[in-house]
Amino acid sequence: MRKMSKKSLSALMVMLVTSSIMGVGYAEEKSNEELDTYTLDNIVVTATRYGKRDVDVAASTEVLTSEDIKNTGAQTAAAALSKVQGMAYKSFGPGGANMGTMTNEVNIRGIDNGTLILLNGKPISWRGKYNLEAIPADSIERIEIVKGGGSVLYGSDAMGGVVNIITKKKGSNSVSAGFGNYGQKVYSVNVGGENFTVNYSNERWQKVREHVALGAISSSKKVADTATNFRNVKKENIGVGVNITDELTFNYNYYESDLTTERVVTDTYNSNIKVGDIYNYRDVTNKQHITQMNYEKEGFKAGIYYNTADVESRGYTYFSTTGKSQNTLYNTRERNDSFGADVQNKWEIGEKTNLLFGASWKHEAYKRLYTPANKTFEDYSRNNFGIYGQWEQQFDPKNSFTVSARETWTTGAPGGQNYSNFSAAGQFMHSIGEDNNLYLSIGQSFIMPTFSQMYGASDVSIANPGLKPQKGVSYELGWKKAKNNHFWKAALYRTTIKDNISATWNSARTDYTYLNEDFKNMGIELTCTIKPEGPFSYNYGVGYSNPKVLNESKGYWDRKFGRVNLTGGIGYEKDKFRTYLSGAFLGERVGTPSNAQSSRIKPYFLTSLSATYSPDKHSDITLTVDNVLNRNDNLVHSGTVYSSTPINFLLNYTYKF
């Protein structure tokens, strides 16, 4: 397909934005779903495990409604979360495609392995990884983000915060088809009613040049510079939701991604290698199943889940890191399984006291499977148990206090490497006016080492079964105020972590191992959402922090990520048109290699524009433009470079029936 020129693409963008601002009316009534309006009384469940108004929650929270996500033109949960204040985004492949175990991530407040991802309140991560691009935007009712330690209520992995993706219970009927540059093709079908929903989506990218400069890995003398081509990217998703009764729901999601990468020589320092030679190629497949059943009635909640993730990478390497010709097969495959249950009950004792008690269990298994290139088979598993409780007391109309605690322990781990952890948290809320609250929060968090960290996930990973759990403490002083269609939030926070788990690369041995190190960060955030009566809506966020780690091999505090985080968006909706322009800026950035001092890298500025024209109540024509400024930004935060996809567009037609 012939690429659209930058000039033509810019003209199309300007035309749509200008048309939307002018507005064109039509007499047909909108559906009930389209008439839903934003309210500043958003209910948040994730922060306390039961519903409370956002303004009354003693934690730093963000809520993305289905309408918010729709306005941005985001196709997946990953795209929707990429521009949230306080988060740093990491991406490898075009359109958020993963590279096997190199998955896309959202980092909360500088803690690169501390984000717990939930789907309808149940964990979907596998060995600390997750596939946010596996959840299509059409299936999402809302996304709740709770920043700061959440381990007391949710267990391991929630040290930086919790992202809870809540899916729709009622289905809609629509079909969509879209195309874009770089060979983009998108198809989706949604079918449903009051008691069920079914969705299917298929997204493809033909070829994108990513300019990933990796160079020599183990040789003291540089051998070559390379760039990576991504081609034949395919992402496929099937989702099913059934309301068996008013209280009992069933959800299933299947996700598969496939892509091919080619590392091509762009500059050479070895006479045996020529520019244009292929260093290696990889065919990468990722398959994930998520199955869960949830029950909720009158303060009682119970759920069971079963998740699997199967990842395989295969291909050939054509010369060594010293420049010697070879034809070596590379083939790794692993399977991660987890199944578990969670039960809780909330009691309201009078008008001023809420008591919550619950228990959880998860069995996790990690298997490194046989392949033609890997003759070993490894199988590890353990059980994770937890009991937790929370007491919320309203002292008077202005003051309330919440205290919570959790005990977690493991059994059945290989070599007797079992762990136990007790953590506690407390929050104090003080009202200084109507919908105007101050809060203070202190909480402990922890992260258990994963099997891949303890026993190795590849031929270049060195086992370290003696890893300790990460243990941290978060302090936060915050303010929330809702008035006149404005919602302000501010937070001053500090996080310290002992024994933070981090990978350290040994260039001489060409391998890496996971070690414990220390981490600290202090920062401030301010956000504001404005949704007045008129056609415009706005949001902005400002944040400054200073994340650092004390690496054992370096012996000094080294900076991580970036210090300045700015986010914002402006929307316009009138009659047949709606548009939304959003951006996220991460400045004063550093790349932090595991075995070298961090060095400055240029800021990233993620931008997207979505414009929708609805000629009637059945049809939507949407143009989404990603990377509007056509920046070549590095979207990882280590010593490597994975650049943002150049400016790209998707023109999509949706028919609702």
pLDDT in tens, 28-74: 333 333 323 334 568 899 999 999 999 999 999 999 998 888 888 88
299 vs 548: CA distance, rounded Å: 41
124 vs 132: CA distance, rounded Å: 10
Sorting pLDDT into bands at 50, 70 and 90, what band is 211?
low
104 or 337: which leads in pLDDT: 337
pLDDT of residue 423: 94
Closest C-alpha to 134, from 125, 147, 144, 142: 125
Pick the CATH number of 6-656 from 1.10.10.10, 3.30.420.40, 2.70.98.60, 2.40.170.20: 2.40.170.20
| pLDDT per residue as tens digits for the range 265-315 | 888 888 888 998 999 999 999 999 999 999 999 999 999 999 999 999 999
Sorting pLDDT into bands at 50, 70 and 90, what band is 426?
very high
Strand partners, 601: 589
449 or 619: which leads in pLDDT: 619
- Percent of the chain scored above 70 by pLDDT? 90
How does DSSP classify residue 33? Answer: H
pLDDT of residue 89: 86
What is the average pLDDT score of the chain?
86
Q: Give the residue ranges of DSSP H helices in 225-276.
A: none
pLDDT of residue 577: 94
- SS3 for 287? strand
489 vs 73: CA distance, rounded Å: 25
446 or 92: which leads in pLDDT: 446
541 vs 524: CA distance, rounded Å: 11
314 vs 330: CA distance, rounded Å: 5
Burial of 525 (0-12, 13-18, 19+ CB in 10 A): buried
- Quick count: other Cβ atoms within 10 Å of Cβ 559? 20
- Does the structure show a pLDDT above 80 at 12? no
- Does the structure show a pLDDT above 70 at 263? yes
Q: Are 477 and 492 in contact (CB under 8 A)?
A: yes
562 vs 544: CA distance, rounded Å: 9
Return the top range by mean pLDDT from 211-215, 543-547, 553-557.
Answer: 543-547
pLDDT of residue 163: 93
pTM of the model: 0.88
Structure tokens at 53: 């108004």
- SS3 for 418? coil
